[in-house]
Structure 1
Amino acid sequence: MSAAPRSAVAIETHTVDHVAPAERHGHSRDLFTLWFSTNIAPLPIVTGAMVVQTFHLNLAWGLMAIVLGHLLGGVVLALASAQGPRLGIPQMVQSRGQFGRYGALLIVCVTALIYVGFFTSNVVLAGKSIQGLVPAVPMPLAIVVGALSATAIGVIGYRCIHTLNRWGTWVMGAGLLAGFAMMLTQPLPADFLTRGGLNASGFVATLSLGVIWQLSFSPYTSDYSRYLPEAVGIARPFWATYLGATLGTILAFSFGVVAVLAVPAGNDAMAAVAQATGWLGPVLMVLFLLNIISHNALNLYGAVLAIITCVQTFAAGWTPGVKVKVVLSSLVLVGCCSVALMASADFIERFIGLVLAMTMILVPWASINLIDFYLIKRGDYHIPSLFAADGGRYGRFNGHAIAAYAVGILVQLPFANTALFKGPYADLVAGADLSWLFGLLVTCPLYFWLAYQGSPAQAARLQAASAQ
């Protein structure tokens, strides 16, 4: 039974608690529009431009690496999203079923930090966009206006976010396609097809960036599918998320590549977009600004849920409501605006470097999450235990998951090639960070083996499944 429709501007009453079957609503296609629209924004366009400007690939090889990286990484994102309808809880709460009540605390805190960082970087972008459209607006005011708008959407919550992205899919999709047409029908530089070339490090770095980009959303993916009726199953939310997320990001990354190639070398990515699209440029800037604000609401929403999950770890009987969400959102708003007002000119580039480093923490979590849900428990979690003070059947700590998680991080360190740390084998492929690959290859089988060995019930279930 689905819930009766409510207004898109009605404030969401749930935070991290379980969404009962009678309150479920929506369709799997909502996940396509959410992930498609939210990824057509300046940040992925600027990141896509790095394929030419930083990794020095040409158009053909750059597009090939972009497509391959996002198609691979999108599998993790979509598998995480498909868990939401089955469980009806946020992604980070579910992690207690894998790591134990207190064992999940580290990844929840890291997730909160990442999305606070994403919110701050997008606040900076929104401020720059507002000032670019209306130069008379002071940068501090522009930053505050952009942040307040995103906060309002995030506080209203789930329905508003989905509604805005349903509209945004058509508007942003049409705007981006018109932008492609405008750029490709203008006179192009002589080196449009030949600027850059093929180099192994650039190709692998671009592919890795696509994988990491998709994977970075996975800790809060099911937050936006948990209201769907359980009857939608696994396949429909998987494909809706996968196609929306990969198509949206591939188009946005590719837009950045084409834009910087369509103008003489040396231009800033967003300046290149404005120059290459002619009269359409100002229209796209307005659309991008609106999308930054809408996209940033997801970051605020996810950050607040992660913060609540952190606090609730030590307060099992606490079920926060709207007031707590408003207070926490306001605190995040004030803190992020303060950082944004002091941000350096290269803040966004530095933040992207930080996110790349953070993937060493996210990769083993994603591995354990997917193995546990799809192969070990097969979606069968005891919801009351996830909120019990002692962790219920999952306990305070799950030693097997924590051990696999620690090994998953350690095995990446020798191959890490990030702004924060460079391992002794970082140049296995010069300039590319391959640590995520070793993290996946080691953590997945290790956790499966530990879970199989550690629980007689799980072992019996796995043996029965393998005999079928």
Structure 2
Amino acid sequence: MSRPPHDPAPDVATGPEKLIAVEEHGAEPVPHERRHGRPRQLLWTWASPQVGFATVFIGVLSVTAFGLPFPQAVAALVLGAGLGSVAHGLLSTDGPRFGVPQMVIGRLSFGHRGNALPSAVNALVSGVGWFAVNTVGGALALNSLTGLPPLPSLLALVVLEIVIGYVGHDLVHRFERYAFPVLAVIFLLAGAWILRGADLGGAGSAGSGGGVGGFGGFMLAFSAVFGFTAGWNPCASDYARYLPASTPPRATAWYSGLGLFVSIAVVSVIGAASGTLAAPAGASPTDAFTGQLPGWLGDLTLVAIILGAMAAATLNVYSAAVSLSSLALPLPGRMGRASLVALVGAVGTAAGWASLADAGHAFENFLLVIAYWIAPWLGVVLMERALRVLPGDVLAGRLQDRSFRNAAGPVALLAGIAVSVPLFSNQAVFVGLVPRVWPGVGDLTCPVGFGLGALLYALLSASLRRRARTISAV
């Protein structure tokens, strides 16, 4: 695909009037004349949403629920965050290349019709699951800080998040940019305080008869943090698609992956350290964390949790609307991306309301469930990317060609999910045959689902290509 000459591009928006103008583009390609921004903006766009309580809680679970001592928890958290971030950086490079969201690029892997399944699932997971999880965390922090009841706290945050997502791309980037330094400074202060008093060499809860511990606990923690990190992969190109097509792919990958990895690794490790300390009985998840800090720092951390929740939920509701746009549904009237943001936000708010009473368990169960579809999906799209041989203009044409089919993608995805079912290890949803018989293996869904999805896609693609060549030769 030919690229226009690289002209210096404005940082995010060209002026205040552009910043607050409602974004016009949804799933369609962004024209070259409207491309703007620099790859460094992806650093804070992906870092800010991770500097919040959801990331802290992953680290807490690795110790309190999965029974790992602090050093093993750190290893699982860093490994899972690292692998998910590498994939994120690679996928982000297709944003400037094609100028469309990640779920539209998925048409290359699944075909136009086959891509409807992962697009719909991502809209559901992002707009309902993640939007609810992140907003509930912020609402609990707002409740602790101000005494405002949880439901009004939830609704207050929802309104702000939907407004930012409704306006769209440039305002989202700008909000993340200004949130990042505030979040980083406060969480680093809180982390230093917690690390100073944490039990960094303890045996973990498994040593006291709780949790899983060992290899099983490691795999549960790895799956949770990988699912959390890779959960952003289906949105990777959503925030890079406005960059000029001449943007260096290495810079796009580096800034996207680094922003995601550093923030998740650092903040989740802080959470693991927090998990080694005793929490007050009956405290909410946010109070259990901030209760380990002095009053002034605890209040600052609550402010940061609120801001971080907004930073994450804004991306969730925006990307969910873009994923729905990629379905190319016959929507009534002038209902486009912006209107879909409001619709998704309303549904996500209802889910958040339902989970206010038991946010901790809801989040733990959700973390493991999302990895069940993300791993095989990621295996398919990364394998498709590795096998690409056609020029960019042909690939771009396929993205808009409603007749394009790729049966290998849907088959590999569904097979990867189906074969992973016996490996599920989620007490609230389903415990498969393997962890039921051998509890010590933990949850192997991520590596098996990823590997199987990638391998099946490669085999099926080769078979389909051979068959096409045979038919054309007859």
**Coarse TM-score class (shorter-chain normalised):** 0.7 to 0.9
Q: TM-score, normalised by structure 1?
A: 0.88
Equivalent residue, structure 2, for 1:401: 409
Q: Residue 423 and residue 377 in structure 1: after superposition, are their counterparts in 2 closer, same or farther (change >3 A)?
A: farther
Equivalent residue, structure 2, for 1:307: 324
Equivalent residue, structure 1, for 2:3: none
1:420 deviation in Å?
Answer: 2.3
The 1-side partners of 2:258 and 2:443 are apart by: 26
Matches within 5 A, 1:16-27: 16-27=27-38
The 1-side partners of 2:353 and 2:218 are apart by: 35
Local SS of the residue matching 1:11: coil
Q: Residue 110 and residue 260 in structure 1: after superposition, are their counterparts in 2 closer, same or farther (change >3 A)?
A: same
Residue 425 of structure 2 aligns to which amino acid in structure 1?
N
Matches within 5 A, 1:167-182: 167-182=178-193
- State whether residues 129 and 351 of structure 2, in contact with CA within 8 Å, keep that contact through their aligned partners in structure 1: no
The 1-side partners of 2:391 and 2:259 are apart by: 23
Asked whether 1:270 is paired with 2:280, we answer: no
Equivalent residue, structure 2, for 1:61: 72
The 2-side partners of 1:458 and 1:243 are apart by: 41
- State whether residues 71 and 200 of structure 2, in contact with CA within 8 Å, keep that contact through their aligned partners in structure 1: no
Q: Residue 299 and residue 97 in structure 1: after superposition, are their counterparts in 2 closer, same or farther (change >3 A)?
A: same
Asked whether 1:111 is paired with 2:128, we answer: no
1:294 deviation in Å?
Answer: 2.0
Equivalent residue, structure 2, for 1:463: none
Local SS of the residue matching 1:455: helix
Counterpart among 300, 311, 320 of residue 294 in structure 1: 311
- More displaced stretch, 30-39 vs 121-130: 121-130
The 1-side partners of 2:136 and 2:380 are apart by: 34
Counterpart among 204, 213, 216 of residue 228 in structure 2: 213
The 2-side partners of 1:55 and 1:268 are apart by: 19
Equivalent residue, structure 1, for 2:440: 430
**Can you give the 5+ residue segments of structure 2 that lack an aligned partner in the other structure?**
1-5, 208-212
Q: How many residues align?
A: 446
- State whether residues 215 and 441 of structure 2, in contact with CA within 8 Å, keep that contact through their aligned partners in structure 1: no
Counterpart among 340, 349, 365 of residue 361 in structure 2: 349
Matches within 5 A, 1:23-62: 23-62=34-73
The 2-side partners of 1:378 and 1:84 are apart by: 17
Matches within 5 A, 1:57-136: 57-115=68-126, 116-135=128-147
1:283 deviation in Å?
Answer: 0.9
Counterpart among 339, 342, 350 of residue 338 in structure 1: 350
- State whether residues 263 and 275 of structure 1, in contact with CA within 8 Å, keep that contact through their aligned partners in structure 2: no
- More displaced stretch, 235-244 vs 410-419: 410-419
Question: % of aligned pairs identical?
Answer: 25
Residue 80 of structure 2 aligns to which amino acid in structure 1?
G
**Can you give the 5+ residue segments of structure 1 that lack an aligned partner in the other structure?**
461-468
| 1:309-344 residue CA offsets vs partner (Å, 9 max, x unmatched) | 23x1x44xx8997x5334322222333333333335
Residue 440 of structure 1 aligns to which amino acid in structure 2?
F
Residue 451 of structure 1 aligns to which amino acid in structure 2?
S
1:274 deviation in Å?
Answer: 1.6
1:456 deviation in Å?
Answer: 5.5
Q: Residue 20 and residue 326 in structure 1: after superposition, are their counterparts in 2 closer, same or farther (change >3 A)?
A: closer
| 1:214-255 residue CA offsets vs partner (Å, 9 max, x unmatched) | 211111111011111222232221121121111100111111
Equivalent residue, structure 1, for 2:266: 251
- State whether residues 379 and 453 of structure 2, in contact with CA within 8 Å, keep that contact through their aligned partners in structure 1: yes
- State whether residues 260 and 269 of structure 1, in contact with CA within 8 Å, keep that contact through their aligned partners in structure 2: no
The 1-side partners of 2:391 and 2:434 are apart by: 38
Residue 105 of structure 1 aligns to which amino acid in structure 2?
A
The 2-side partners of 1:55 and 1:231 are apart by: 45
Q: Residue 9 and residue 294 in structure 1: after superposition, are their counterparts in 2 closer, same or farther (change >3 A)?
A: farther
Local SS of the residue matching 2:336: helix
Local SS of the residue matching 2:37: coil
Q: TM-score, normalised by structure 2?
A: 0.86
The 2-side partners of 1:23 and 1:88 are apart by: 10
